[in-house]
Each structure stands twice: as structure tokens, then as C-alpha cells.
Structure 1
């Protein structure tokens, strides 16, 4: 397979400070419980999820002889490890609210390890990894546009997700290349894994979100109302998921590669702001937003 040339180099960024131990409100996304707990659920999922991704890619590292791919795998692992570190810091913020984040993360890790790692082949689990990496990379399509969908979010948490999305864009081709070029996964298994991930990802998010909303004291009726409004926020024509739709469906094309989606809105603006601010991710996020709003 001929891999398109990546336009965004993989750059591991370490020891970033988002000030996540500051005075961040419980419902940090405009006071909205659904939106806040939706993203908090993602944060709880990420540490075990990133561990799963790294493990599934490492399954095939010993079979890789290309120096370029070996370096990309190394940088992929460094970025994913940093994502796990930062989201554990964010999860500490959530834990201080009384939510048992460790048990919730352990539930995700047990599910991935005892179901996917034990029930399925290594080639299938790396295909699931590539599919989930596709999801995490295309989230940036919604986060970085003139609608500024995260404008009501606390700037520190918003900056964390902006940085995470930027790095997902940078390494979005690594698991896919390992899956196709090393694990020799064919079209049918690749697409089946995406269908699997399309169910797995939102079900896991909503399960953890539900646990948190119950802990917050919302009744069943209140949770139904929150979910109704929240799901509309997700799926409405100008909602969070709308810009992701086109990028999502391209994965089903024969001959697809992640770098065919080469243009990422907001990437150069974030990178320029990050470099000019001396590596401050919060300043980078805010400057990017100001630039895109012009």
C-alpha cells in the first residue's frame, strides 16, 4: 500500500500545564450538566483507552523493519502516554467531586482487556484501534471552526481537549499503517472494526456519563430531559457531530487512508500560537480561537 505523505509531523509535547487543579466549576461547560459530563466521560475513558491503543500497536512493532514507521510508532506511543497522564490529572479534578473515577476507568480497562484482548485476534484489535483513532482525530473537525462550539467551556479544560485533538491529527495514520502494512488487515475486517467502534465508543461514553449524572443526584426524569437536549446538541445540523460526518464515511471507501483527509482546520493556527507562546497550551487554544473568529 502506498501511504500518502503526512503533512503534520508527530511532535510529542511533555510537561504541559493546563492548571487543571484550579477552580474549575463542576459543570464547566456553560453550566450544562450533559455537556460537561459528556466530556468528563471521555476524560475517564482516555487513560485505559490510550493504554489499549499503545498495546495493540506494539503487538506488531517487532515485525516492523522500516525506520520511518518505527520512529512514528515511538512518537505515537509518547503522545498517547502524555494524553493518559494529562487526563488522569483531569480525572483527579472529577474524583474530588466524589465520583469514583478509578473504578470507572478500571471498568473500561477490564472491558478492553478481558473482552477485546482475550476474545479477538491481534489483527482485529489493531483494526479496532485504527477505527477509534479515526474517531478521535475527526473530533477536531468539530472543535476547530468558526462556530466555536466550545466557547462556553472553561478555557483550561477546552485547552486540554484542543491539545489532545491536535496530537490525534498528527498521529492519525500510525495505527492505520500498522494495521494495513504490517498486520495485513483487509477491507472487510477494517470496516467491521469501524462498525464495532461506532457502537462501542458512544455506548461507553453514555454509560459513564449516566453513572456521573446519577451521582450528581439527577432523577430518571431529569436525566431523560438532559439526554434529549444533549443528543440534539450532538446530532442537529450545526451540532457537534455534523462536521465529522463526511470524514467518518470516507473510512468505508476502498483504498482509504487517514492522510487523504489532509486539511485540518485550525491546526496551523494552534501550532503557531503554541510556538509563539513558549509552549503554553492554554494561550495556544485561546489565540487559535481568536484567529479563527476573524
Structure 2
């Protein structure tokens, strides 16, 4: 279990993490989301003792990371997949870590197989692609067979096969009762992997709960229909609390009414519907709604005109 209590970190005049409280429970994959600069990486670094909080505490299994007797056996961490000496082979990199933590060489072979690095174990890390570096970082994180795993953007650089492997590994770790904290900017992947979400913005927790609960809390269900008589359908369903959005292809999205109500109103007005479907909110919709006021680095639309 990971527990953060009133965790605060300031860099000069910038408040990076502002008194955050959360608990990451074992047996679940907990997704950690937030815009760039939101405080995710700083929080993760404080959990594993790489940054010291100005106030508050971060604990793993009831103890600060620096107080753990055998940290690699309790916490597996991937914060930077490129954090390996480029002149060493993958095997020697892992063997060096294992030797300093009293982990047998046989475990090195096991994590190399786990990460699918058998054919690359003898190659120097400096020649690895981003995806291969990520696999090596995950192998290092799993070297001590830890009960808690903290991974920052682990699917960066992975091909589709690697992403499926990562998804399966995370689900298996959670099923084994381990604590899994995962950050990612890939909303589709997080939707398929996470059980629980913690969303942070400008150093503060914006949401903390089961994935579906977080999504449903800030998004709304709508009904999508397709008809050749958009104008008459719009008149038939219009009313207080109903929001109607029309598309160029004859689709109409209706929020504030259920599918049966929409179908009954259309039938009463003599409107033929060729499609009726219920659209639920997505994680991307929820994320954008939650973080709309907590984005430090916002892109601007570039208006194209004559060259200057």
C-alpha cells in the first residue's frame, strides 16, 4: 500500500505539490493522471525518496522509502527507462543491480524473460530503442519481485505487442495482490488497464475513485440517433434540460433524455430513426473536464495567413 498524507513540495516560488492525500490500495491498478507540470512525477519521486517533501509524508507499507530494509524487494520503480549505463549490456546492468541487493543471478534470467529481452540481453544498452529501454526498465523494477510497483509512462515507445504485454503484466500483478501505481497520457490504455484513478492538477488532487465512478461524476450520458428528418426530430425532443447537437451526416446527439424517451417522441412525431444508441462519457471527456482549469501549458491555435 502507498499512502500520501499532506504531501507538499515547493521549488522556489512554484508550488509543485500542494498538500495531497491519497491511498493506493493493493490488488488494483491505480492510474495517476494529470497535465504536464501537474505534480505527478514529483509525487512519485517523493514516494521513493528521490525528492524530499517540504511537509507531509509518503509511505510504502507503512514506512518511508528510506527506512525500508530491502527497498528493491518491496518497491519496483520505473521513472526513466534510459537510466542505465550505455556501455553496459542489458544483462550486466541487471546483474549489477541484483548483486548489490543480494538477489540471485537466476532472478536476472527470469526478469529478462519476463520483459522479452532474451535476444537483446548481450547487447549494449546504448544501442537500445526507446521501447527496448522501457522493457529493460521494467525488468529492473521487477528484479526484487516487489509487492509494490510504481511505473511512470511505462508504455512510451512500446509497439502494439509491447503495449498488450504491459497491459497483461499490470493486470496480473494486481490479481496477485500487489499495489500498482501507473501514470500515462494514453487515455485509451488507461481505460483498459486501471481499476482506480487519481487525477492531479496544479499540485492538488482533482479526483480520486473507481474509474467508472470518476468518469460518470463529470460526464453525462447521451443518445445518438440518425434520421433524415433532423428538423422535425429536434422539435419533437426539445424541452427544458435537453441539449441537442446535430451532425452533418444526419446524426443527432441528445442529452437529458433516455433512449426510450427519444424513440417515443420520434414515433409520436412520425419521425423515422435509422439508428439509436446510448453514448457514455469517456475517460478522455472526464479528464478534460476535470483538468480544464488546471493546465499550466496550454497550446494556442495558429491562424495561418500570408507569409511574413
Which of structures 1 and 2 has the bigger CA Rg?
2
TM-score (norm 2): 0.26
Report which structure shows greater RCO (CA 8 Å, sep ≥6). 1
The structure with the greater share of residues assigned to helix is 1
The structure with the greater share of residues assigned to strand is 2
